């Protein structure tokens, strides 16, 4: 039995997939579930973004996107579609990277997931080193208190869950507030606007679960 499970975060730049191209054209942050690769090489995508119809129009005009469906909400839109363009993340999946979430912005993506043991991590790192545009951002042991994830109970993405946890730990929700959104964003290594967008989506999910 493998005792060590590690959480790893990679940044992908230069991947010519539809979501990367769309966020390069439209100033949006896309929270995506792990892409599901079909046997025919096509990919099933499920993701959400702020309620900006320009993103839907850009994706709908992309020849690599098929069967685009958009569920529109006041604060965010949820998308489901088929992509004819496989993401480079599947190259890491093939060597043992368990993708939990992906966030697209500015034409690139940050993906977060797990690797079971250091031997698998070495294989993933070796593959990443031979794949253009993939860089390791950070890696740390999976904590025992992360199982089961809070996000599973409250329908949060790992990125949203992490943002809420860090904000709480830093005292962002205390009154009077002494920590700013920019402080939390710096701790997370993301922009202030990206943090606030994660926070709004997390609140929407939490309140939606609480109040139906």
Beta-carbon contacts of residue 210 (< 8 Å; ≥ 6 apart): none
Buried b / exposed e along 122-138 (16+ C-beta atoms within 10 A): ebbbebbeebebbeeee
Phi, psi of 18 (to 5 degrees): -55, -40
CATH fold of the domain at 144-211: Arc Repressor Mutant, subunit A (1.10.10)
pTM for this structure? 0.67
SS3 content of the chain, % helix, strand, coil (to 5): 40, 30, 30
Q: How far apart are CA 136 and CA 191, in angstroms?
A: 19
Domain residue ranges in the chain: 5-137, 144-211
Phi-psi domain of 189 (left: phi exceeds 0; alpha: psi -120 through 50; beta: other): left
Start-to-end C-alpha separation, the chain:
41
pLDDT per residue, tens digit, the chain (212 aa), is 666 788 888 888 888 889 999 999 998 889 888 889 899 989 999 998 888 889 999 999 999 999 999 998 777 789 999 999 888 888 888 999 988 888 898 888 888 888 888 888 888 888 888 877 788 888 878 765 554 444 444 567 778 888 888 998 899 988 888 889 999 999 988 888 888 888 888 888 777 766 65
């Amino acid at each position: 039995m493998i005792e060590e499970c590690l959480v790893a975060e990679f940044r992908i730049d230069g991947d010519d997939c539809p979501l990367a191209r769309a966020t390069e054209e439209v100033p949006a942050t896309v929270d995506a579930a792990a892409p599901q690769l079909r046997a025919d090489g096509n990919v099933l995508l499920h993701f959400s973004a702020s309620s900006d119809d320009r993103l839907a129009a850009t994706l709908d005009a992309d020849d690599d996107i098929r069967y685009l469906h958009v569920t529109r909400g006041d604060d965010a839109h949820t998308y489901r579609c088929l992509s004819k363009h496989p993401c480079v993340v599947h190259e890491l999946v093939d060597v043992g990277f368990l993708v939990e979430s992906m966030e697209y912005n500015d034409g690139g993506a940050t993906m977060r997931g797990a690797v079971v043991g250091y031997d698998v991590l070495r294989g993933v790192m070796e593959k990443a080193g031979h794949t253009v545009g993939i860089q390791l951002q950070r890696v740390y042991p999976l904590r025992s208190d992360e199982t089961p994830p809070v996000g599973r109970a409250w329908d949060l993405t790992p990125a949203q869950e992490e943002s809420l946890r860090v904000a709480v730990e830093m005292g962002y929700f205390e009154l009077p507030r002494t920590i700013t959104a920019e402080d939390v964003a710096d701790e997370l290594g993301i922009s202030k606007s990206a943090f606030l967008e994660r926070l709004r989506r997390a609140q929407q999910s939490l309140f939606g679960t609480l109040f139906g």
